Amino acid sequence: MSVLVQSSHGWVLDARPLIDQGYTRCIRCKDSQKSRVKCCFKRQYFHIVKSHNSVNKSAAVDDGANTDPLQKTDKPPKKRKRRHSELNQGEVDSQAFHEKIRSVIQEGTKSLVDSARSLGHLSGVSDEVTGPLPSLECSLAALCEMAKELPLVEDEEQEECAQLLAAEDGCTSHVDLFSRVTENRTAWATVVILMGDEYVIPPDAGFLLSDYTRIQPLVQYGRRFDLIVMDPPWENKSVKRSRRYSSLPSTQLKRLPVPLLASPDCLVVTWVTNRPSHLRFVRDELYPHWGVEVVAEWFWVKVTSSGQFVFPLDSDHKKPYEVLVLGRYRSSAAENSTSSSEVPVEDQRLIVSVPSALHSQKPSLSDVLKPYVGADPKCLELFARSLQPGWTSWGNEVLKFQHTSYFTLTPFDDRGDVPEGKAAEKPTASPVCRSPGESVYRPTTGD
């Protein structure tokens, strides 16, 4: 179960089951041999038991005494507070934005966490597996740079802009990951070797590995999407210093062909850093440039396994929340009219969850956004670093968190339920999203 609590304030999510959905039964192809495995995202990535600087009262959701032994930390050294006059304009704007939404974050999170605790969640009691986190250097972005030397697919070859991941025997044949959308059309996840490494590909998923200068195959793919979620590589000093990934200037985002990918009334969701300049850019420049009308701002609130903010709410360094801007694409053909079947999006909703220890890994929004995108929607993620069942994904690190080093693979011998060839029956399930070619189903699991 991924949605633990839902109320007028928002949702409490358990992010790991959102990743695991669809991976309960997988076909693993190695050395032309097939085996059956169960894939689970490693539990220790969500084993966040301590809040940073949690001795500060504002780190506690309820602002009360914190007696949880898991939350005890050494008191950090005091830093000299800067006078307001010493703050630059960006810091002044950040402070004003924080004061504007502080009560929404504080009160809504307290209500949601209290509800979750009453149901036995966010108790701080954990039997999660501990151990060192694997360190994997991702070379996908570098490979995308090299792939720019490959010829682009011409418009007249549009019908060839998609390819199947697996051959008829269920194992991968030669695939062009950089200039074709690759599809896994089976109803089962597949563990395959790509570029010399093993990756877990969810069922009914499509993906394109490229940077923004080579996104044209996604347009030629011919799909119009009802939901587009993106997490741009925003420019900031921390990323520049760490060199974890290449950032993209805000103005370059306008070059993304969202109007060519969005269906009428498509819901567009953008993850935004806490820099007010980025938020203003999305609301006042980027969305209007695409013809997207802003309809709501939501907040992702990051808490520990005992429900404490991961950072003090009033921290000057990092905040325990991030912003999402939601909008509707209004095509000129629709004359900016709102569809009668469109479900209004409530403003200032919270998504509360324990974050991943992996940098920039966001929780899946598939479950919380379902009411707003209609039945059987087509879903797309831009700047993706992972794949989701039923979604199409694009980015220069689109397979990063699909590498098997992030998963625990165990043998699975339920031969009666696993397809031998490509003619597989879909397991009992409920509809999620429609992507590359047909309705997608979430396999029912016993977990």
Q: What confidence tens digit (pLDDT) does each residue in 3-15 have?
A: 999 999 999 999 9
Contacts of 145 (CB under 8 A, 6+ apart): 211
User: CA-to-CA distance for 28 and 238, rounded, in angstroms?
Assistant: 38
Residue 429 predicted with pLDDT over 50: no
Residue 128 lies in a domain: no
Environment class of residue 64 by beta-carbon count within 10 Å: exposed (0-12), middle (13-18) or buried (19+)?
A: exposed
How many structural domains does the chain have? 1
Domain residues for the domain of 151 are 138-298+319-348+357-405+420-443
Q: Are 345 and 355 in contact (CB under 8 A)?
A: no
Q: Are strands 3-7 and 292-302 parallel, antiparallel or unpaired?
A: unpaired
Q: Which two tokens stand for residue 420?
A: 């031998």
Environment class of residue 108 by beta-carbon count within 10 Å: exposed (0-12), middle (13-18) or buried (19+)?
A: buried
Residue 329 lies in a domain: yes
* pLDDT value, residue 134: 63
**CATH number for the domain harbouring residue 429:** 3.40.50
User: CA-to-CA distance for 381 and 387, rounded, in angstroms?
Assistant: 9
* pLDDT value, residue 389: 94
Lowest mean pLDDT among 98-102, 152-156, 183-187: 152-156
Residue 370 lies in a domain: yes
Q: Are strands 10-13 and 350-353 parallel, antiparallel or unpaired?
A: parallel
Q: 10 Å Cβ neighbour count for 41?
A: 23
Q: What confidence tens digit (pLDDT) does each residue in 198-238 have?
A: 899 999 999 999 988 899 999 999 999 999 999 999 976 55
Measure Cα distances from 295 to 15, 233, 265, 272, 345 in Å. 25, 23, 11, 15, 7
Residue 185 lies in a domain: yes
